Amino acid sequence: MSQLRLNPLTGRWVTIVADRAERPTDFAPRSQQVEAEPSRPCPFCPGNEESTLPALETFDEGGHWRMRVIPNLYPAFDGEDPFAVHHHGPVHVEAEASGIHEVFVYSPDHHGGAHLLTDHEAGQMMQLLSRRLQQHAATKNVRYTQAIINHGREAGASLAHPHGQLLGLPFVPGELLDEQRAFTRFEGGCILCATVEAELVDAKRLVVTTEHAVAISPYWAGSPYELLIIPRQHDLHITDSSDDTLTAMGVAIRDSLVALRETHGDVAFNLVVHTAPHQYHGGYHWHVHLFPKLVTTAGFERGTGVMINIVPPEAAAEQLRRVSVGA
């Protein structure tokens, strides 16, 4: 029988279809080609640096860059204008899309990926994100920065070379406002601290467990093999975390991706870092969402906002634990 479970971070219900057998046709096939013109030189590969704008920051080792941050050539958010809302009649409202849009290339290897990072490199990636967010926080018109990695065409990637994006926004998006309200309403301290404590006791949904981080298939997972990666230290912002925590989070992300690949192959995914808005000091606990793109969102989900998950999180976690290098 199906079951409704409440996502406490968003206040939205999800449906777990526990008695549906997992079939090969349940999961959409992954398109291996990402670029529209794969024969074109990759702008993110070493030797093609002139194809991008000058780097804002780099990690160099042995005279060669290992990671670099560059401005996006086609920014969705750009400029230093303050956030000003303009009303055009009773229903039309607009504002300038000012802010920051950067690309972080976290591997020089065109055929690499976050699943291949060493512990040291995984820590460097997270430290790089933390430093960039510190810079964004000092920018007057940026209230929140969204860090993402899109892997695969189905996840929205337009280039195959391993990279992510940083988008500094002049407003706090609704998803984060929902989470802020959830942390404020929760009466048991911190939602995610309580979640970590409960999952360590139950153990059914644990995928990766280390001294400083855990990865779980959350009780309220809205899609198959969705994961939530949480630092065990209660920090509002990623910029508050120690290098040990940042490295542990990077390693937990890598190990989660390794487990997913061992289970489903080179699956497309969205990796989303949620951290407290800049200059916000209320209730929050930064974390990472990992959304494998195994199924297509259909009309019911679009129309109601209620996700249907055909793989119970307990079953997903059990499968991932079997192959997880961190288990």
pLDDT-based confidence at 253, cuts 50/70/90?
A: very high
pLDDT for residue 115 is more than 90: yes
Query: Which domains does the chain possess?
Result: 38-80+93-323 (3.30.428.10)
pLDDT digits (tens, 9 = 90+) for 135-157: 999 999 999 999 999 999 999 99
| Coil, helix or strand at residue 146 | strand
Cβ pair 128, 118 in contact under 8 A: no
- Tokens representing 124 are 């460097």
For 201, other C-beta atoms within 10 Å of its C-beta total: 8
Tell the residue number behind the tokens 């195959």, with chain if given. Answer: 160
Three-state SS sequence of 48-91: CHHHCCCCCEEEEECCEEEEEEEECCCCCCCECCCCCEEEECCC
Contact 98, 139 (CB under 8 A): no
Q: What is the pLDDT of residue 323?
A: 86
Given this model, what pLDDT does residue 327 score?
A: 44
Strand partners, 151: 269
CA dist., res. 28 & res. 323, Å (int) = 22
Q: E strand or H helix at 180, and its extent?
A: helix 174-185
Instruction: Locate 138 and state its tokens.
Output: 């000092």
What is the band of 213 on the pLDDT scale with cuts at 50, 70, 90? Answer: very high
d(CA 37, CA 327): 40
Nearest to 289 by CA among 241, 221, 208: 221
Structure tokens at 80: 């230093």
- Beta carbons within 8 Å of 45's beta carbon, 6+ residues apart: 108, 110, 161
pLDDT band at 61 (very low <50, low <70, confident <90, very high): confident
* Gap between the Cα atoms of 136 and 116, Å rounded: 28
> What is the tens place of the pLDDT at every residue in 265-295?
999 999 999 999 999 999 999 999 999 999 9
The whole-angstrom separation of Cα 243 and Cα 56 is 21
